[in-house]
Amino acid sequence: MLSLDFLDDVRRMNKRQLYYQVLNFGMIVSSALMIWKGLMVVTGSESPIVVVLRENGDIKFLTKGDNNSVDDRGLYKQGQHWLEKKDVVGRARGFVPYIGIVTILMNDYPKFKVCNVSCLNDELFNAVREHTSLL
């Protein structure tokens, strides 16, 4: 009876760990995106959109860099004077600060990664120990 219960616990623990890793990975990806977009807005500078036109139901944008006063036409395709909706990749909508700091710390200080993994190992070890001592 000891071995059966023990195996069940370990299997359950591994699934939870797996879900945790999946969520962690998803959070890393989405937080990287959010930081990038947030920085676009918060770098203490100027509006990226200066002109919006509506012509026959179509919408044309003229953008400019965030730290100069010239429009972006020099960066558009040869002969292109306006951006259309399909050229706009996205818009900053919100700001979630420091959500990726754990990831950044783990990159800059690999010792943190070991700490994190050993945390999981400790939890796993403790949970297993608890269950076995009950029996």
Site membership for another protein, residue 74 (CB under 8 A): yes
Which residue type is seen at 47? S
Tokens of 100: 């990726």
Between 36 and 95, whose beta carbon lies closer to another protein?
Answer: 95
Judged by CB under 8 A, which of 102, 124, 127, 128 binds another protein? 102
Between 73 and 131, whose beta carbon lies closer to another protein?
Answer: 73
Judged by CB under 8 A, which of 6, 13, 16, 73 binds another protein? 73
Q: Report in angstroms the alpha-carbon separations of 32 from 44, 73, 107, 111, 112.
A: 20, 29, 13, 21, 19
Nearest distance in Å: CB 94, another protein:
5
Q: What is the CA radius of gyration of the chain?
A: 25
Q: Report in angstroms the alpha-carbon separations of 66 from 45, 56, 59.
A: 6, 29, 22
Nearest distance in Å: CB 56, another protein:
8
Judged by CB under 8 A, which of 30, 81, 88, 129 binds another protein? 81
Site membership for another protein, residue 41 (CB under 8 A): yes
How far apart CA 135 and CA 130 sit, in angstroms, is 9
Closest CA to 86 of 45, 58, 128, 53: 58
Site membership for another protein, residue 6 (CB under 8 A): no
Which residue ranges make up the site for another protein (CB under 8 A)?
Answer: 41-42, 44-47, 49-56, 60, 64, 69, 71, 73-74, 81, 92-99, 101-102, 112, 115-116, 118-119, 122
